[in-house]
Structure 1
Amino acid sequence: MTYPFRRAASAALLILAGVAAQAEPQHGLAMYGDPALPPDFVSLPYANPDAPTGGQIVTAEVGSFDSLNPFIRKGSVPWQLRFFLGESFMGRSLDEPFSLYGVLAESVETGPNREWVEFTLREGITFSDGSPMTIEDVLWSYETLGTVGHPRYLGFWSKVESLEQVGDRTVRFTFNVADRELALLAGMRPILKKAQWDGVDFAESTADIVPITSAPYYIDDFEAGRFVSLRRNADYWGSDVPFRRGTNNIDEVRLEFFGDETAAFEAFKVGEVNSNREFNVARWESQYNFPAIQDGDVVLSVLPHERPSGMTGFVMNTRKPQFADWRVRDALIHAFNFEFINEAMTGSAQPRITSYWSNSPLGMSAGPAEGRVREFLEPFSAELLPGALEGYSLPVSDGSERNRAGTAAALAQMEAAGWTVQDGVLKNADGAPFTFDILLDQGASENQAIIDMYVESLARIGVTPTITVADSAQFKERTDAYEFDMTYYRRGLSLSPGNEQYNYYGAENADQEGGRNLMGVKSPAVDAMIGKLLTSESQDDFVAAVKSLDRILTTGRYVIPIYQWNISRIAHAKELKYPENLPIFGDWPGWQPDVWWYEE
């Protein structure tokens, strides 16, 4: 089934206009303005409150895992677990740029300038083992995650001046910086059971401890590296919370792990897996014709979304000397023959990512920077790279394999950076060859195919990189420690970017082991634009700040972008169903399996 594209993102951004200071306890909280849903809302607009419960959804994951604790740095963890196990004060609506509604919290209250926020716990909250949640669990969880948890939690905690209990079921966060988003982030941290971790080194736990959760699902069974089974808690305390009505309907969510994409797809074809998200349009059009589809037992759903493209491609680690010069990075982008690769991989069916927020109203505009964007950028003109102010677009080849224009441009930029072809090899003035290593995750056959074609293009400028294929654990270990030259990179970005941008691109986190700033960017201009988008009090300034950030990152030439996915393609058993009313974020964490159900 295919749904028409709903152009709602621009309209949704209008809620960014105006600042509504909270003066009393509320049912929800928005980054700007008021939440769209009223206090008496029945369910999320994209959930079916009458959905039946039961059944099973099984997905195929490529790789492995050695830990079940998604809240720490150590170990390789199934990425879904932090969404399944991390019940928080509030939950995010996928139909608004950034609005939260109460889950653990029955109400939220903020100061006039959001310098503090209070959450009041609902009564009767229990963990999956039946024990009650207490304020002590709340205080312990925030302090533990903020000090020894995953790096994604550390930045928020550093901005908390104090966390204190101010009522029987109420806690107050007071912040030490002006940052409007902090009140929302405070509502999105998981609350864990303190007693489970008494006498245990939380930061070192792996698969030896199964986290106890207050969420709708708990880990029922697992085999390290093979599968994880999550079971719907029949005694879940929050089944009548409005945010939860019509969600978490499926009895078992099972993650099956395979060594590569081919094995995962074959498992789907024979029915061992009953939902498969496909990213390759060529495979979607040529290989999704097996008997189960022909017989109607498997449904092909094409789902639109209105979120930014984000950035997907191959990132260059600027901590390494060969990538410190922007002209080298620019040369490697020119040498990447996207049009030829796209034709080989997708039949040219998928457009290229053009910037970090392309496909959205927040993406950088074509041509020179103007208006507020130029005003924000000009104080940093001395550090900005060519194109940030003047205008920039990615090179476009003629689609032929040789890519003569791109090769010539790459050689010219390399020569400007001090590298010339000598005896068929690109070398510097000392005669040292230019080379680098490309780190790939085992089983990522599509990335391997892309890199194989890229290596052939690099040979035309006298460069011969090495390719290292690592298993999932080694890949994570190396990327966490930034022990790579170039590797695959993917960042999903939202219509309401916030503090997470510091984790992705901030100078302070660039050398934080396990962080997400893989390219190693350290830029006062980047940090300033993130600061502006966090403190903007108008829609115009917020949008201008994001557009400015987009220009700086895109012209930084840190990533070689590949194609974008403006729709999602999911093949699934006919028994797996979802509401027709799709959220603006589309297929995103919080949608599948959250609002899906199983119906014979």
Structure 2
Amino acid sequence: MYGEPALPPGFESLPYANPDAPKGGRVVFGNTGGFDSLNPFIQKGTVPWQSRFWGYESLMGRSWDEPFTLYGLLAESVETAPDRSWVEFALRPEARFSDGSPVTVEDVIWSYETLGTQGHLRYRGFWTKVAAIEQTGTRKVRLTFNTADRELALIAGMRPILKKAQWDGKDFADAALADIPIGTGAYVVSDYEAGRHVTYTRNPDYWGADLSFNRGTQNFDEMRIEFYGDATVLFEAFKAGELTALREFNAEKWDNQYDFPAVQRGDVVKTEIPHQKPSGITGFAMNTRMPPFDDWRVREAMLLAFNFEYINDTLTGGKLPRITSYYSGSELAMRPGPAEGRVRELLEPFAGSLPPGAIDGYTLPQGDGTERNRRNLRIAAKLLAEAGWTIEDGVLRNEQGQAFAVDVLLRQGDSENEAAVDIFARALERLGITMRTEKVDDAQYTARTNELDFQMTPYRRALSLSPGNEQQLYWGSDAADTPGTRNLMGVASPAADAMIDAMLASDSREDFIAATRALDRVLTAGRYVIPIWSFEVGRIAHAKELKHPETFPLYGDGPDYMPGFWWYEAE
């Protein structure tokens, strides 16, 4: 995106891979809930989250050591116009699908068109910016764009490539469980039972095993996912040796509950992986499309009532720091105090419509650490009164006499978020607000959130050091009311849209950082989510036979880092 790639032509391997890693071994992971689909590219169904990472590839691959840098994968070369109004890829002649058939330009064009029109919403925004896609040679394909956006040339290299012939006479968007898309990746589904388990086996004829980009990766012969009703049962299965590796997000649990016999014997190892990623946003999203959360004062009152310091101390021993903004912990994060320089210049045209604090500075409410949190509750009550909510006989009501009640939609087995909601509910009682939890299975949860049928729900959006077009999916106005949107809280802010446009139009790193910091201000001051804790390190407990490179990527742990760069080595 800016400057030159760090790795030279002919590099041996990615810098955080072990090019001499041995192949072999079997690993077993655990998921909560279930699944009713193995097609991760459509809107329909619930899929194992790992599925789109383990068996599919794109024209180019991402280096997790460099923001905004891609290297050739299915494509052996890439060419783009100086203004990036078009991009052209040349396919590697050796590229093959898992069934051995060659990857053709026809497959590439079909994949882009199908995903852009029938695929998951995450793929459709890009397609609206493609003016034309055409074959320009035996193995060449060119995309021409209708929008001035320098990132589009990179995004074009990141669409999954699927086999066109598999879907002749079939409805891609309504695929059955048995219709598992054929990809080009190193793994194929070899066995599954709906909702219970799925096994991925490494393809011994995988076409890309010798590429520099892949050297030292995709090392396990078999990877299996077992599904459990809740996180407690899953943890017990790991302790009993039924699972091989487990990511842990609770620092107190990591410190206090990972002392079981297998750890004491050294059969299970605790590994911490540092990173330099932004915090992203984790917390409870409020649906701003409907009352009462369409009023920023009500949302601020909820933030005040959410006694983070007490909840964090109770659930994590106070060991996890709080997210302070969407990009906190990185150079892209908004700076304290009033906006200055280019950031202020970008925000000024929207001064009349921005929520309080966006320009002058906003920080999350901080409690006093006690359970009662009196001061913040007094401020919350005042804001609620300004918004038309007053106490009558101990119940908070609006001018129409309707009681203030909040339903929190949770997945079954989400014990940690349920515990936080329980403490939150006790605080809201003091304001006259009733909070209830609705616990539903994975399929119901997916359907409810896709239909935007919730008031409040847990929310996690990981963010990178190279944010771009995906920001329109996350909080762009165009997607705010679309069923299945990733803009779960319903951000519909002209200022946010303009900041995203400024990010995409930036032709220097400095302008890009300023636009991102301005967007961070708009989102944080918008009070759309009640942020909770951030994860400063990745924590993975694993069987001692699982090994990892000594060098960690800039991004630390991620969906395709573990297991993608690890290997099995019996002692």
Q: Given the two structures, how large is their TM-score scaled by the length of structure 1?
A: 0.94
Match of 2:317 in 1: 347
Within the alignment, does 1:560 sit opposite 2:530 as a pair? yes
Match of 2:542 in 1: 572
Shift, 1:316, TM fit = 0.2
Shift, 1:430, TM fit = 2.3
Shift, 1:63, TM fit = 1.0
Within the candidate set 213, 235, 238, 2:205 is matched to 235
Tell me, in whole angstroms, the C-alpha distance in 1 between the residues paired with 2:15 and 2:172: 38
Give the AA of the match of 1:245: R
Match of 1:138 in 2: 108
Cα deviation, 1:525-563, whole Å, max 9, x if unaligned, reads 100000111110111110000000000000000000000
Give the AA of the match of 2:55: L
Give the AA of the match of 1:223: E
Within the alignment, does 1:535 sit opposite 2:535 as a pair? no
Tell me, in whole angstroms, the C-alpha distance in 1 between the residues paired with 2:76 and 2:249: 39
Within the candidate set 356, 368, 375, 1:398 is matched to 368
Tell me, in whole angstroms, the C-alpha distance in 1 between the residues paired with 2:232 and 2:166: 39
Match of 1:264 in 2: 234
Cα deviation, 1:150-176, whole Å, max 9, x if unaligned, reads 000000000000000000000000000
Is the contact between residue 225 and residue 257 of structure 1 (CA under 8 Å) also seen in structure 2?
yes
Give the AA of the match of 1:388: A
Is the contact between residue 68 and residue 77 of structure 1 (CA under 8 Å) also seen in structure 2?
yes
Q: Secondary structure at the match of 2:292?
A: helix
Match of 2:554 in 1: 584
Within the alignment, does 1:64 sit opposite 2:27 as a pair? no
Match of 1:16 in 2: none
Is the contact between residue 74 and residue 206 of structure 1 (CA under 8 Å) also seen in structure 2?
no
Q: Which runs of 4+ in 1 moved over 3 A?
A: none
Shift, 1:227, TM fit = 1.0
Shift, 1:333, TM fit = 0.5
Is the contact between residue 76 and residue 472 of structure 1 (CA under 8 Å) also seen in structure 2?
yes
Cα deviation, 1:69-122, whole Å, max 9, x if unaligned, reads 000000001111111232110000000112100110000010011000000000
Match of 2:396 in 1: 426
Match of 1:41 in 2: 11
Match of 2:278 in 1: 308
Match of 2:178 in 1: 208
Cα deviation, 1:56-76, whole Å, max 9, x if unaligned, reads 121111111100000000000
Tell me, in whole angstroms, the C-alpha distance in 1 between the residues paired with 2:86 and 2:258: 52
Match of 1:17 in 2: none
Give the AA of the match of 2:194: A
Give the AA of the match of 1:180: R
Tell me, in whole angstroms, the C-alpha distance in 2 between the residues paired with 1:133 and 1:117: 19
Is the contact between residue 86 and residue 189 of structure 1 (CA under 8 Å) also seen in structure 2?
no
How many matched pairs? 570
Cα deviation, 1:120-139, whole Å, max 9, x if unaligned, reads 00012221112222111111
Match of 1:11 in 2: none
Match of 2:245 in 1: 275
Within the alignment, does 1:526 sit opposite 2:522 as a pair? no
Within the alignment, does 1:509 sit opposite 2:509 as a pair? no
Match of 2:346 in 1: 376
Q: Secondary structure at the match of 1:393?
A: coil
Tell me, in whole angstroms, the C-alpha distance in 2 between the residues paired with 1:331 and 1:85: 45
Question: Comparing 75-84 with 548-557, which one deviates more in the overlay?
Answer: 75-84
Tell me, in whole angstroms, the C-alpha distance in 1 between the residues paired with 2:512 and 2:464: 13
Match of 1:120 in 2: 90
Tell me, in whole angstroms, the C-alpha distance in 1 between the residues paired with 2:61 and 2:17: 14
Tell me, in whole angstroms, the C-alpha distance in 2 between the residues paired with 1:32 and 1:113: 13
Cα deviation, 1:269-322, whole Å, max 9, x if unaligned, reads 011101000011111111101111101111000111100000000000011221
Shift, 1:584, TM fit = 0.6
Within the alignment, does 1:359 sit opposite 2:329 as a pair? yes
Unaligned 5+ runs, structure 2: none
Within the alignment, does 1:180 sit opposite 2:150 as a pair? yes
What does residue range 402-421 of structure 1 map to in structure 2 within 5 Å?
402-421=372-391
Shift, 1:206, TM fit = 3.2
Q: Given the two structures, how large is their TM-score scaled by the length of structure 2?
A: 0.99
Give the AA of the match of 1:519: M
Within the alignment, does 1:91 sit opposite 2:45 as a pair? no
Tell me, in whole angstroms, the C-alpha distance in 1 between the residues paired with 2:507 and 2:154: 16
Is the contact between residue 261 and residue 443 of structure 1 (CA under 8 Å) also seen in structure 2?
yes
Q: Secondary structure at the match of 1:218?
A: strand
Tell me, in whole angstroms, the C-alpha distance in 1 between the residues paired with 2:511 and 2:94: 43
Match of 2:187 in 1: 217
Tell me, in whole angstroms, the C-alpha distance in 2 between the residues paired with 1:253 and 1:307: 27
Is the contact between residue 75 and residue 206 of structure 1 (CA under 8 Å) also seen in structure 2?
no
Unaligned 5+ runs, structure 1: 1-30
Cα deviation, 1:388-413, whole Å, max 9, x if unaligned, reads 11111111111110000111011011
Within the alignment, does 1:197 sit opposite 2:167 as a pair? yes
Within the alignment, does 1:156 sit opposite 2:126 as a pair? yes
Match of 1:470 in 2: 440
Cα deviation, 1:9-53, whole Å, max 9, x if unaligned, reads xxxxxxxxxxxxxxxxxxxxxx11111111111110000111000
Tell me, in whole angstroms, the C-alpha distance in 2 between the residues paired with 1:586 and 1:98: 16
Tell me, in whole angstroms, the C-alpha distance in 1 between the residues paired with 2:119 and 2:180: 16
Tell me, in whole angstroms, the C-alpha distance in 2 between the residues paired with 1:409 and 1:251: 58
Q: Percent identity among equivalent residues? A: 61
Match of 2:412 in 1: 442
Match of 2:356 in 1: 386
Is the contact between residue 353 and residue 561 of structure 1 (CA under 8 Å) also seen in structure 2?
yes
Within the alignment, does 1:483 sit opposite 2:464 as a pair? no
Shift, 1:500, TM fit = 0.3
Match of 1:329 in 2: 299
Give the AA of the match of 2:161: I
Tell me, in whole angstroms, the C-alpha distance in 1 between the residues paired with 2:361 and 2:480: 27
RMSD, matched Cα: 0.8
Within the alignment, does 1:296 sit opposite 2:289 as a pair? no
Cα deviation, 1:476-506, whole Å, max 9, x if unaligned, reads 1100110000000000000010000000000
Is the contact between residue 309 and residue 565 of structure 1 (CA under 8 Å) also seen in structure 2?
yes
Question: Comparing 398-407 with 207-216, which one deviates more in the overlay?
Answer: 207-216
Tell me, in whole angstroms, the C-alpha distance in 1 between the residues paired with 2:151 and 2:227: 36
Give the AA of the match of 2:13: S
Is the contact between residue 94 and residue 590 of structure 1 (CA under 8 Å) also seen in structure 2?
no
Tell me, in whole angstroms, the C-alpha distance in 1 between the residues paired with 2:87 and 2:551: 32
Q: Secondary structure at the match of 1:292?
A: helix
Shift, 1:203, TM fit = 0.1
Match of 1:4 in 2: none
Give the AA of the match of 1:418: G
Tell me, in whole angstroms, the C-alpha distance in 2 between the residues paired with 1:86 and 1:318: 36
Tell me, in whole angstroms, the C-alpha distance in 2 between the residues paired with 1:435 and 1:268: 39
Within the alignment, does 1:170 sit opposite 2:140 as a pair? yes
Tell me, in whole angstroms, the C-alpha distance in 2 between the residues paired with 1:47 and 1:95: 11
Tell me, in whole angstroms, the C-alpha distance in 2 between the residues paired with 1:231 and 1:496: 32
Q: Secondary structure at the match of 2:405?
A: coil
Tell me, in whole angstroms, the C-alpha distance in 2 between the residues paired with 1:202 and 1:85: 18
